[in-house]
Structure 1
């Protein structure tokens, strides 16, 4: 059976990429929850929008989110957005900045990792942008932080709040472990100091009492719905994690050895990917636009109003250094890269929305919620959201019946407005700056 995932050596040329993109533009389509390029009807306009001046980013922004370890889709999307060109060399990792690329900011909306097919190549593609001295802002995604939580939990003393974080990564992290083992450990004496299979299982999996103790430990931090969801999720992952590892050809000893190598690569000062979590930010505010991975809640709204985005980003990094991983991962800070505005998530109410608007934020640009028909502009919880996860990675696309790897980006510029570019929609979606501004007048 032919592999539906393209090999990373078969990188398309510029003409191939452009051929898969729309050649026409259209007003942003509207459904019951979305905004198009026409002015919202007065009864649709959230009250907080009135008499607010919408400020655009000072420089053009190219927002690409959720590449999920597909380096080909990521680089093709950069080319489609016009910020890079390929050198004559074949394969990944041979890019140069265009004139537009030197003037623009590339904001990566999180979830660089998991799923595959090329976690390590994706990381190297992102690093290449820094090497080219592009203006890059890298945001934290839930899949990225799940890896960090798993690695940190393994390195620290077990307690009821952290001992589930490794297995909580689930099957989607297995491709990364397979890549790391193959590239760094295969053909070496990796097993020299690794304990036996049963000892590795005890290191990696939560203890037998975790399922009884966690609901009491989490009381007051998570909603009742959140606790129930977490326990049910862990019951499933605890049962299936080893099975997924073995399906990928990894024993628990190999998984444990790989996790130690990942700690070296990502957490040690001289690790190849040490820059990844170090450069990561929680939020980025450009004009009236707030860029993040998932969404907001009341507490984060108050933090942004009283202390601003710089404080939120510092709090994000300082909390990562704390030994109490539990209180970080289930906090308002982490909710920013995890929420889908479910009952199990920390709430965003009218109080939070008022604070967000008072902080000068009128549009949230996010990833996290994948869309098969390109980007969506929606009013959620009384706040305009640009949903920009357009299903780029080949594995997700194959499982969802979409062809090949994805190509696309969300372009935000005060002269053009918001442009949703996707290979999965027949036209580029455009809402002009004047038309979006009309919402606030």
Structure 2
């Protein structure tokens, strides 16, 4: 069990009992109970139990998909046991003894959906300033915001749609910036026609995009992307109106956002500066979403450092290829038929790299974290729908929070607002050849 400290500031009940994770040893009991949330332990052992699994001798806290909800972040930190919360404020805590020696992984998607992106980012910076070892991994919402800001006004076919691609979920961020950094009446001087020309792709873009995207974006997805951009061009102005903002207000707030996030002296420049796409944790790959055959091959040949090098090069040189290509799959894939493929060849590449499992978020689940096999890889799915707006849409209780704690003894604990027990994954029950180093 984690040592919760400051539960009076958590607002949600934290579990004090444990349950094996996965719950069932075999498929028969799982089927009898009509409970197929997790893969049974025998399935995990049959598929990968013979692998020489390496488990780091250090505590790691895995958070993901907090989506602009600083209160969910506070609850998740308290649930981890990595902090000792002392008061109601975002900064009223200290690292616990375990937290001082641990790694805190924030696996993407701090932007969009929730009530306050800026407050969440400031809260994360507080954790860094308190001396925590923090790793930030790229999520699709994070990268969508970054490239939208960076390529505002560019008309090349690879870039002209990237601002609109952020969509209506990002507009509250500009409302925050307007309220906190701009004076009343501080708006763009451009005309409405000029704003439309600047912010939105024109018809020429819709004609040229398919040929530019061919070979990089799967064929099934090109038509979907064109349709989605047209939808977003309608949704975005409507969302602005609902927020009592004009396109001129959005443009002015975007200009300020570029200073805050992209300029080296900007208040939030640190967030993207610290970001990687993946991290190795023993025999686990830590990532926002997943892999495909190409990235698995890269990992086999160049390890995770090669993937991060590729990520940073594309981030600087070609955000379109970053977002839509194989590296983008690491923060976007849901293994759909239009995503880049992950097959037996990719599994073999992962094995060559000594990677037998993936810990990730990205796919909303509603009963806490789960464990399953995807192709031939162990997957810890950790997006437990913690932000308040996702929870409202899903019909969940008001307060969310979740964390997976990887302990130095080969045990992983799944803790969430939506499951009454701490889920206890004992790696020795799956990997007879487990090595803790």
Structure-1-length-normalised TM-score: 0.91
User: CA-to-partner distance for each residue in 1:300-338, whole Å, 9 max, x for gaps?
Assistant: 01111111111211221121111x332222111111100
Give unpaired runs (5+ residues) of structure 2.
25-34
Matching of residues 373-388 of structure 1 within 5 Å: 373-388=367-382
1:359 CA drift (Å): 0.2
Are the counterparts in 2 of residues 223 and 344 from structure 1 also a CA contact under 8 Å? yes
Q: Distance in 1 between matches of 2:61 and 2:367?
A: 19
Unaligned runs of 5+ in 1: 1-11
Q: CA deviation at 1:436?
A: 2.6
The match for 2:39 is 35
Contact in 2 for aligned 1:414/1:433 (Cα 8 Å): no
Distance apart, 1:153 and its partner CA: 1.3
- Secondary structure of the corresponding residue to residue 428 of structure 2: helix
Within 1, Cα distance between the matches of 2:96 and 2:189?
48
TM-score normalized by the length of structure 2: 0.92
- Correspondence list, 1:147-186, <5 A: 147-154=145-152, 157-186=154-183
Q: Is the 8 A contact 1:170 1:237 kept in 2?
A: yes
Aligned residues: 420
3-state SS in 2 of match to 1:172 = helix
Q: Deviations over 1:80-126 (max 9, x none)?
A: 111112234x3222221010101111101100011121111100111
Structure 2 CA distance for aligned equivalents of residues 186 and 376 of structure 1: 47
Contact residue 53 and residue 433 of structure 2 kept, 8 A? no
The offset of 1:384, in angstroms, is 1.1
Aligned to 1:91: 89
C-alpha separation between the residues in 1 aligned to 2:361 and 2:315?
22
The whole-number CA distance in structure 2 between the counterparts of 1:247 and 1:87 is 38
Once the two structures are superposed, the pairs formed by residues 259-408 of structure 1 within 5 Å of their partners are: 259-322=254-317, 324-408=318-402
Q: For residues 132-183 of structure 1, what are the alpha-carbon distances to aligned partners after superposition, in whole Å with 9 as ceiling and x for unaligned?
A: 111111000000000011011116x321111111111111101111111111
Alignment partners' CA distance in 2, 1:429 and 1:270: 43
RMSD (Å), alpha carbons = 2.0
- Taking the aligned partners of 2:307 and 2:231, their CA distance within structure 1 comes to 33
Runs of 4 or more off by more than 6 Å in structure 1? none
On the 8 A contact 1:35/1:379 being kept in 2, the answer is yes
Residue of structure 1 aligned with 2:210, choices 200, 207, 215 = 215
**Does the residue aligned with 2:43 lie in a helix, a strand or coil?**
coil
Supply the distance in 2 between the matched residues of 1:79 and 1:146 (Cα, whole angstroms). Answer: 29
SS of 1:121's partner is helix
